[in-house]
Amino acid sequence: MRRIASVGLLLVVSASAVAQTRPVARAGSGALDCRACHTAVTPTRNAPALAACPRLKITGYHAVDEAPPVITLGTPGKTYGPVKFAHREHAHMAETGKGCSGCHHYDQARPIQQCKNCHAVSRRREDLGKPDLKAAMHRQCVECHRAWNPTGACSTCHEKQDAAAKATGAVATKPAVKAPERIVYETNARQGKSVTFFHKDHTDRFALACADCHQNESCGACHDRKRVAASQPVLTRQTKAGMTEEQAHERCANCHTVDACATCHKGMPSRRIGFDHGRRTGFTLNRFHAQLDCRSCHKAPGAYQSISADCESCHKGWQGRFSHARAGLELDEQHQDLDCVSCHEDQTFRAKPVCTTCHDDKTWPAHKPGKAVARGTPKR
Amino acid sequence: MKSQNRRSFLRASTAITAAATGLTPTTAHAGPKNLLSPDRLGVLVDTTVCIGCRHCEWACKTAHDLDTPPLETYEDRTPFEKMRRPDDTALTVVNAFASPARPDLPTTVKVQCMHCDHPACVSACIVGAISKQKDGAVLWDTDTCIGCRYCMVACPFQIPAFEYGKALQPDIMKCDFCTDRRTEGKLPACVESCPVEALTFGPREELVRVAREKIRRAPERYVDHILGEHEVGGTSWMYLADRPFGELAFPKLSDRPAPGVSESIQHGIFAYFVPPVSLYALLGAVMWTSRQRAADEEEHS
Amino acid sequence: MSHSMRPQPLDRKFVTPGVLVLLLLAANGLVWLGGRFLFGLGAVTNLSNQYPWGIWIGIDVAAGVALAAGGFTTAALGHVMHRAQYHAVVRPALLTALLGYTMVAIGVSIDIGRYYYIWHPLIMWNGSSALFEVGICVMIYMTVLYIEFLPVVTERFIGRVNLPGALARLNTPLDRLLRLLDRTLDRTMFVFIIAGVVLSTLHQSSLGTLMVIAGQKMHPLWQTPILPLLFLLSAVAVGFPMVIFESLLAARSFGLKPEMPILGRLGRMVAPLLGIYLAFKLGDLFVRETFVYLKTVSVVSVMYVIEMLFGIVIPLRMFMTPAVQKSPGLLFTAATLVVGGVLLNRVNNFIVAYTPPYATHPYVPSVGEISVTVGFIAILVLLYRAAVIFFPVISLPDRSLTPASKYSVRG
């Protein structure tokens, strides 16, 4: 009788002991080096000696195209299968956002750490300060996906378990991004409140990729479900309150001169005005070129392509048939038959003409090789 | 006759006093449990993480053998169109609140019993059918309950529900902190089912630390307030949010335990039965003297 | 105690047209009650998870207990203070209290979900629960009331036990038992009378404590830590008006001469009691500065004003007028106002002031709830009528001097 009782007692004690032990997730094989986070050799709970967290740049993969194309995430549950995660595609999109470290945070050295090295596999754990693996992954995905799919339906990413059984590894495609044709900014300028930005013209003509302009933006900014559905050609944006004038002009001022306010601040400006050709291309348009349509020179269809700054590239065989008086100076007889390069050393006719090729004591513009006339009025 | 009356009066008074005082220790032991262990467990609900998938609702119903449609149907967002409360068919519900910052993404808040540290229901229950367990859970006992619904009157969070449709053995329905599951070593059903771990289960003290750390690290994400840390003397379930809790339909409550005033009145009136016994003695004295006087008058007349 | 008035059974027919109406109301109530037992509380009541308590608690129980306060106030006056001149109203008040409390007990047991567990509080105690205290006190007090009423029963039957047929053999032992009971009660009755007063004081006040735990779910106009005191004071104040009300009503119903001298004297005592109650009500209103809620017109503010004005202020002024103490009509009006005021106070406290969070629509009692409550009141009146016809309760000018019993309720 006593034996039975003692066996029973032993069972109860051991059962309760098992129940007490919580499975604690240990770091996997590729465990972090303790010193990655702790500055002391033997950190304790009370004195963890934590280093500033090293949110360093990813060194594991250098280019997004080197990233693994598809990763299978998660283990199949009762209802839903794992997720075929289009990793490379996301990496591409991440360029407009936080980059690789947007997801691979705290990662500091190759190879990239696995999530489960830090995030416990079991929800019953001691360190409640960071989410468990399942939650960490869901939060990463949901953060963006929720923005354009607020229902948060599991089947957006997970395949239904029955379907998953015969899944062919198909990857859910990203939602389409429809760029607007133009964006009208309602600014807080005193005059000419609205500034129209020709988004489509910019991306088409200058062959811009999203990431060329959009950096550090949330996914939802473009993958906005409502906007995609409505696919509005014209968006209206309000300039954020509290922006300094400099901040407000920052983006445009990369390409445009911003000294003439009215160029932009007048509802619908002409599409060309304000583009600082010289600043962006190094080829300042002279007054003749400035009057031309862009397509007169940039003839190739599609985005504007850079063309040679050499005059001959457009003005074929013009030399010898040029009336210098058009430039505002009628050459005298001694200079009339000289080659252009004799004075204009650079092919672009931008630099100051030189006299030293022939004359030691003459300089431009103190001495002129002819008679100044009104520009553009050739005297024949 | 008179003297006999007087003697029996005294005898009876003594007997009643003794009986009354004799009751006192029994009463002290008889009350329901309210054990506050420092290791008591809790759940931290981070409403800024919650995505409103309502898997917790499904898991709760499944764990408690309540009727529920399959999980896929919970992708339907129409239930958010009206405010819901836990009732006898659902021990927990998730409600949505329009978010001024993100109109497309409402803030979703799960509601269930808060498992107060000083529960009003435990204090109120006429038969002590509700008790605060050592592990933090506030549990209802079906064998004791008489169905008076005073717990529902008392609860500051308006949580206990009653099976009004049942003629026999109607139950008080409320979250039981999945005590059965936990004794099997499992997590509460809702906590286990949450895909984003908006519900963090663990020792309450640890959760308070975690919550403080979250607020410290992301002050722009949270209001500096852990609902349930101090409200009504502290609750096992606590909440974090990105805006004042009043906007998320939480009642504004003081830090004093909900049963405080009521209990101090009760204990004042029944302080070791001294007040009632004194009143008894006083009335006895009045009665005796007035009868004496009447008898004297009768004798004189 | 020499007096010309003596309690005796009334020589009246039970059934009258009014009684038929009451029977109808009672039957209707019982039908609805049957629905509650067959299909559950939800089928008959408008109660919900937000409003767990309705008029069955607010009127049947809370107001019922308050309006049965005549029992302990007259007992205190007649027996504890030994004012023999009031003995004529003690028994009717005792009967009212007895029937009232019985209805309260039944009202509670139909309202609780598991009526068959009504005995649980007897062995399962929770000392911190105000409801537990109310429950226990009401149970004990009800027993005390029945014990207090026993002399009326013995008085009715001593020397008249006349069982039919085979049971006739028991007549003599039963008679002896009654006489023994009567003697014992005569010596120990004071214990029960004082106990009754103490128990009443306790549970009348604890009934106020009940809603304190509801905290801010209750409107500040009523929610106050001195609720138990207010409940006790109002119970004390409503005791005599209830006796006046019921006595005048009975006199009219049975075609008796109202006992104006006694009732007038009782009426004189109402004013100070009501005054104290009013003082505390107003004091509470100003100390907690809740009068700000009266600035806006809403259901709560209107109800509060009605309760204060018609339930306290106007009857207080009336009871202070000597003319009122002499006129049965005015006395009845004043008493009715107080009774109505306290009834309204209980309804206000338990129903109107109770504004829980998350309630989508306010609680309005259902037809079933009203039917049951009205049915209970009808049954109460019928039982009262039956009791005064059968038992010596109402004092009448003494006609037969044969000492059917020398025993009467004595302290």
> Looking at residues C207-231, what average pLDDT do you find?
91
* CA distance linking residue C325 with residue C327, whole number of Å: 6
How many CB pairs (< 8 A) connect B and C? 223
Based on the fold, state whether residues C212 and C84 are members of the same structural domain: yes
Of the residues C53, C83, C125, C206, the best mutation for testing chain B's interface (the one with the most B CB atoms within 10 Å of its CB) is C125
Based on the fold, state whether residues C325 and C252 are members of the same structural domain: yes
Based on the fold, state whether residues C244 and C380 are members of the same structural domain: no
Of the residues C60, C124, C200, C288, the best mutation for testing chain B's interface (the one with the most B CB atoms within 10 Å of its CB) is C124
Q: Is residue C115 part of a domain?
A: yes
The neighbouring-strand residues paired with A182 are: A234
pLDDT exceeds 70 at position A273: no
Q: Is residue C50 part of a domain?
A: no
pLDDT-derived band of residue A36, with 50, 70 and 90 as boundaries?
low
- Asked whether C151 and C409 are in contact (CB, 8 A), the reply is yes
Rg for chain B (alpha carbons), in Å?
A: 26
Please tell me the predicted confidence (pLDDT) of residue C41: 93
pLDDT exceeds 70 at position C241: yes
Based on the fold, state whether residues C260 and C378 are members of the same structural domain: no
Interface contact flag, A146 B51, Cβ < 8 Å: yes
What are the two backbone dihedrals, phi and then psi, of residue A329, each rounded to the nearest 5 degrees? -145, 120
Looking at the partner chain, which of B31, B165, B262 has a beta carbon nearest the beta carbon of C213? Answer: B262
CB atoms within 10 A of CB A69: 12
- In this prediction, what percent of chain C has a pLDDT beyond 70? 96
Q: Answer whether C touches B (≥3 Cβ pairs < 8 Å).
A: yes
Based on the fold, state whether residues C66 and C30 are members of the same structural domain: no
Closest CA of chain B from C398, distance in Å: 22
Interface contact flag, A132 B213, Cβ < 8 Å: no
pLDDT-derived band of residue A289, with 50, 70 and 90 as boundaries?
confident
Please spell the DSSP secondary structure of A38-65, one letter per residue. Answer: BSSSS--SS---BPPP--PPP-S-SSGG
Cα angle value A346/A348/A352 (rounded, 5°): 60
* CA distance linking residue A364 with residue A369, whole number of Å: 9
Closest CA of chain B from C161, distance in Å: 28
- Asked whether B43 and B207 are in contact (CB, 8 A), the reply is yes
The reply to whether C30 touches chain B by the CB within 8 Å rule is: no
Closest residue, chain A, to B186 (C-alpha): A124
* Mean pLDDT score of chain A: 70
Closest residue, chain B, to C40 (C-alpha): B167
The reply to whether C54 touches chain B by the CB within 8 Å rule is: no
Selected residue with higher pLDDT from C379 and A254: C379
Which is it for strands A234-238 and B138-140: parallel, antiparallel or unpaired?
unpaired
**ipTM of the complex model:** 0.89
The reply to whether B202 touches chain A by the CB within 8 Å rule is: yes
pLDDT-derived band of residue B21, with 50, 70 and 90 as boundaries?
very low
The reply to whether C37 touches chain B by the CB within 8 Å rule is: yes
Rg for chain A (alpha carbons), in Å?
A: 34
Q: Is residue C407 part of a domain?
A: no
| CATH of residue C222 | 1.20.1630
- In this prediction, what percent of chain A has a pLDDT beyond 70? 64
Closest CA of chain B from A146, distance in Å: 8
Q: Which of B132-136, B259-263, C106-110, C210-214 has the weakest average pLDDT?
A: B259-263
- Asked whether B43 and B211 are in contact (CB, 8 A), the reply is no
Q: Is residue C410 part of a domain?
A: no
Based on the fold, state whether residues C346 and C303 are members of the same structural domain: yes
- Asked whether C380 and C100 are in contact (CB, 8 A), the reply is yes
pLDDT tens-digit map of C49-98: 999 999 999 999 999 999 888 888 888 888 888 787 888 888 889 999 99
Q: Terminal CA-to-CA distance of chain A, rounded, Å? A: 134
> Looking at residues C142-146, what average pLDDT do you find?
92
Look up residue B286 and give its DSSP letter: H
Interface contact flag, B164 C45, Cβ < 8 Å: yes
Q: Is residue C22 part of a domain?
A: yes
Closest residue, chain A, to B214 (C-alpha): A129
pLDDT-derived band of residue A89, with 50, 70 and 90 as boundaries?
confident
Closest residue, chain C, to B267 (C-alpha): C128
The number of residues making up chain B comes to 301
* CA distance linking residue B280 with residue C323, whole number of Å: 37
Partner chains of C (3+ C-beta pairs under 8 Å): B
Looking at the partner chain, which of C108, C194, C217 has a beta carbon nearest the beta carbon of B280? Answer: C194
Classify residue A131 as exposed, middle or buried by CB count within 10 Å of its CB (0-12, 13-18, 19+): buried
Q: Is residue C377 part of a domain?
A: yes
Q: Which residues in chain B touch residue C105, judged by CB atoms under 8 angstroms apart?
A: none
Based on the fold, state whether residues C66 and C122 are members of the same structural domain: yes
Cα angle value C52/C58/C64 (rounded, 5°): 140
Based on the fold, state whether residues C127 and C253 are members of the same structural domain: yes
The reply to whether A374 touches chain B by the CB within 8 Å rule is: no
Taking the complete model, does pTM exceed 0.80, yes or no? no
pLDDT tens-digit map of B153-178: 999 999 999 999 999 999 999 999 99
Rg for chain C (alpha carbons), in Å?
A: 22
Looking at the partner chain, which of C82, C128, C205 has a beta carbon nearest the beta carbon of B259? Answer: C128
Give contacts of C 115-144 with B, CB under 8 A: 115, 117-118, 120-121, 124-133, 135
Q: Which residues in chain B touch residue A18, judged by CB atoms under 8 angstroms apart?
A: 185
> Looking at residues A341-365, what average pLDDT do you find?
79
Please spell the DSSP secondary structure of B210-244, one letter per residue. Answer: HHHHHHHH-TTTS-S--BTTSGGG-BSEEEE-SS-
pLDDT exceeds 90 at position A54: no
Which domains are delineated in chain A? Answer: 50-174 (3.90.10.10), 182-307 (no CATH), 310-380 (no CATH)
Question: Is omega for the bond preceding B79 within 30 degrees of 0, making it cis?
Answer: no
Look up residue A370 and give its DSSP letter: E
Based on the fold, state whether residues C115 and C261 are members of the same structural domain: yes
Domain that holds residue C223: 55-162+171-365
Based on the fold, state whether residues C222 and C251 are members of the same structural domain: yes
Instruction: Count structural domains, chain C.
Output: 2
Based on the fold, state whether residues C332 and C387 are members of the same structural domain: no
Based on the fold, state whether residues C227 and C301 are members of the same structural domain: yes
Residue B117, C-beta contacts closer than 8 angstroms, at least 6 positions apart: B36, B40, B132, B136, B233, B234, B235, B236, B257
Q: Is residue C397 part of a domain?
A: no
Extract long-range pairs of B129-134: CB within 8 Å, 24+ residues apart.
B129/B32, B129/B172, B129/C124, B130/B32, B130/B172, B131/B32, B131/B33, B131/B34, B132/B32, B132/B33, B132/B34, B132/B35, B132/B36, B133/B33, B133/B35, B133/B179, B134/B35, B134/B37, B134/B40
Closest residue, chain B, to A74 (C-alpha): B195
Q: Is residue C10 part of a domain?
A: no
Partner chains of B (3+ C-beta pairs under 8 Å): A, C
The reply to whether C3 touches chain B by the CB within 8 Å rule is: no
Cα angle value C196/C200/C201 (rounded, 5°): 120
The reply to whether B215 touches chain A by the CB within 8 Å rule is: no
pLDDT tens-digit map of B95-127: 999 988 777 788 999 999 999 999 999 999 999
> Looking at residues C277-303, what average pLDDT do you find?
92
* CA distance linking residue C215 with residue C50, whole number of Å: 15
Interface contact flag, B279 C53, Cβ < 8 Å: no
